[in-house]
Amino acid sequence: MKNFTSYNRQALIDAVVLLVAVALTGALLHGLDATEALYEYSRSHEGYELDEIILTVAVSSIYLSVYTLRRLRNLQALLVAASTDPLIGITNRRRGSDLIAALVQGQGPNNELASIIMFDVDDFKRINDDYGHDTGDEVLTELIEVVQEETRRMDIVIRWGGEEFIILCPRTHADEACQLAERIRIAVERHRFRDVGQVTASFGVTALAPNENLRSQVVRADRGLYESKRLGKNRVTMA
Ligand SMILES: Nc1nc2c(ncn2[C@@H]2O[C@H](COP(=O)(O)OP(=O)(O)OP(=O)(O)O)[C@@H](O)[C@H]2O)c(=O)[nH]1
């Protein structure tokens, strides 16, 4: 359905570009008195007819417009692919790192304007071992669907690596982020995953501090996650 809609949108854009190209070509030829010049040219060059020249110019400009548009669209698709995780279709680590760094740089002196939640599936190796790697992949996709049901529009879920994820929560104090993480934890625990049944996850939460590099911020969240694992998993710890 999504592909069909985007295909229709592309066809519509192509049609609009065609119309604009035709209109521009006509306006240009008219505005520059090009018709007159072309007429003179066609008269002095027996082999050319005015209609043929205009048609050639119009077709070339239409072709160039559509070609340029297609190239731009391909470029846009490449940019999206470079910042998206291929398995789950969410923001990948490269793009996620840039977003976190940008948010840290944009923070004022009153810190705690944003927080991150790091989480990791509990005993995921066992899921892979018991049900196979493909089912493991499906669990990750289903997990993110559950997570995204709970997150707000402004939150960005990032695949940080393997079965580890970060939620970037702009304009969110750490205690609010903890509440969000707890809601997600409960939703995951209650969800029944296809084939596998119950799956749980552990969470580490931290506020983003200004003037601190990305690595230190993530290490702090990771410390919270580690503590959750150490205390028995399926819990949220603020770092
Ligand atoms: N199916 C699948 N497995 C993955 C993917 N990325 C990482 N893994 C597996 O995830 C497992 C992670 O194992 P561990 O690091 O031991 O973690 P764990 O079993 O979840 O244990 P705890 O984190 O302590 O709860 C490894 O077996 C990896 O091979 C992936 O994209 N798909």
The atom number, within ligand 1, closest to the CA of 127 reads 19
pLDDT digits (tens, 9 = 90+) for 215-227: 898 999 999 999 9
**DSSP characters for 213-226?**
-HHHHHHHHHHHHH
Active site (annotated) includes residue 46? no
Assign residue 89 a region: left if phi > 0, alpha if psi is -120 to 50, beta otherwise?
A: left
Residues with CB under 6 A from ligand 1: 87, 120-125, 128, 133, 136-137, 140, 162-163, 229, 233
Fold of 93-238: Alpha-Beta Plaits (3.30.70)
The atom number, within ligand 1, closest to the CA of 229 reads 24
Tokens 């669990």 correspond to: 139
pLDDT digits (tens, 9 = 90+) for 55-85: 777 778 777 888 888 888 888 889 889 999 9
pLDDT of residue 69: 83
Q: Enumerate the domain spans of the chain.
A: 2-81, 93-238
Regarding an ipTM greater than 0.95, the answer is yes
